[in-house]
Copies of this chain bind each other. A is one copy, B any other.
Amino acid sequence: MQPHVTHSPARAVVLLSGGLDSAVTLAVAQAQGFTCHAISFDYGQRHRVELDAARRIAAHLRAADHRIIPLDLRLIGGSALTADIDVPKGGASFRGADLQSGDSSSIPITYVPARNLVFLSIALGLAEVVGARDIFIGANAVDYSGYPDCRPAFIESFERTANLATRDGVEGRPFRVRAPLIDLTKADIIRRGHELGVDLSLTTSCYDPDPRGLSCGTCDSCVIRKRGFADAKIADPTRYAGGT
């Protein structure tokens, strides 16, 4: 190993949302020895809680860099997460068992059109600029199979497209898109984060936090998170608005 330049660690771009999955993904990339450039999007969320969480996680896990890209997806509309549609509660739109089936009718109304494709595309641009070959995304096909852009077939197709879209790809320096959580259950992800020393209390999953930023405990995402901690037999460090 040369001290200064030639054997410097490989760089990776890591999509960081402030949620549990992307935090564990960043920890996995760091544990693999990558110098990590985290990227988040300010996409017109109804709350800023998740961007605050992303900042805290990037600092906690010592990312080399963290960029927040403003991209107002409200301008194209179409989701309960960005538009004026009520976030569903109590599992009405998001029934765990149904989602495993891959039945497309289970796509939740919190789906944002083409979101992961847009985010990965911008992450790819950043990867090319900073000289990263690897792009990490916390996509997960088990608990979230309702989202088409969290499936392995999408990730693989994106990687092929990325290598046709870019100078590096065309010139023989291919990009790899890594989704290390793709086959894990929420409980597995929580265990993996715990093993890697991630302070999971810094992450947020709630679709509908209260004005103090506390999680509601009843939206689909909170329900899945709670169940994950229970299944992993790890104490849930989340502060819920109504108590535990």
Stretch at the interface among A49-57, A64-72, A92-100: A64-72
Inter-chain contacts of A115 with B (CB < 8 A)? 125
Give the residue name and chain of the B residue nearest to A150 (CB).
B165
Contact: A76 with B126, CB < 8 Å?
yes
Give the CA-CA distance A75 to B37 in the complex, in Å: 13
Contact: B129 with A124, CB < 8 Å?
no
Contact of A154 among B111, B118, B154, B161 (CB under 8 A): B161
Inter-chain contacts of A122 with B (CB < 8 A)? 76, 114, 118
Residue A107 interfacial (CB < 8 Å) = yes
Contact: A157 with B148, CB < 8 Å?
no
Give the CA-CA distance A114 to B126 in the complex, in Å: 9
Give the CA-CA distance A128 to B77 in the complex, in Å: 10
Give the CA-CA distance A107 to B141 in the complex, in Å: 37
Binding site for B on A (CB under 8 A): 67, 69-73, 75-78, 104, 107, 111-118, 121-122, 124-126, 128-129, 148-149, 151, 153-154, 157-158, 160-162, 164-167, 169-171
Known: A69-B72, A148-B164, A149-B166. 20 other contacts (CB 8 A): A67-B76, A69-B71, A70-B70, A71-B71, A76-B122, A76-B125, A104-B167, A113-B124, A113-B128, A113-B129, A113-B166, A113-B167, A117-B121, A118-B121, A118-B125, A148-B167, A151-B164, A154-B161, A154-B165, A157-B160
